[in-house]
């Protein structure tokens, strides 16, 4: 039970960190400075909490983190596309 909770937490932190990386990549490509600043800050905040867990974790921990990171990348792309369209439509 404890291992499942640990894996779920690592999945969540991987998802969250790469979610912000994906968003930041899109914001960078669109020169959305406020979005870049917020996303970059969040990347560093999430990273500061999870780096020790992943570095000293087991292979199972690393797989859980990587799976979350993959999901976060896809979710970040979807979210950033929506936000970019919304922001650009507000300025037009």
**Domain locations in the chain as residue ranges:** 2-91
pLDDT at 67: 92
What distance in Å separates the CA atoms of residue 6 and residue 27, rounded to the nearest whole number?
Answer: 32
1-5, 59-63, 72-76, 84-88: lowest mean pLDDT where? 1-5
Q: Hey, how many other C-beta atoms are within 10 angstroms of the C-beta on 23?
A: 29
Q: Convert the pLDDT of each residue in 15-32 to its tens digit.
A: 999 999 999 998 899 888
32 phi/psi in degrees, rounded to 5? -95, 90
Tokens for 78, please give them. Answer: 């979807």
Taking the model in full, what pTM does it have? 0.74
pLDDT at residue 71 tops 80? yes
């Amino acid at each position: 039970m404890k291992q499942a909770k640990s894996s779920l937490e690592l999945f969540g932190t991987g998802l969250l960190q790469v979610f912000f990386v994906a968003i930041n990549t899109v914001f960078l490509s669109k020169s959305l400075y406020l979005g870049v600043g917020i996303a970059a800050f969040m990347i560093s905040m999430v990273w500061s909490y999870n780096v020790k867990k992943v570095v000293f974790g087991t292979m199972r921990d690393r797989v859980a983190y990587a799976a979350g990171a993959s999901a976060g990348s896809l979710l970040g792309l979807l979210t950033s596309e929506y936000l970019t369209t919304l922001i650009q439509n507000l300025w037009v």
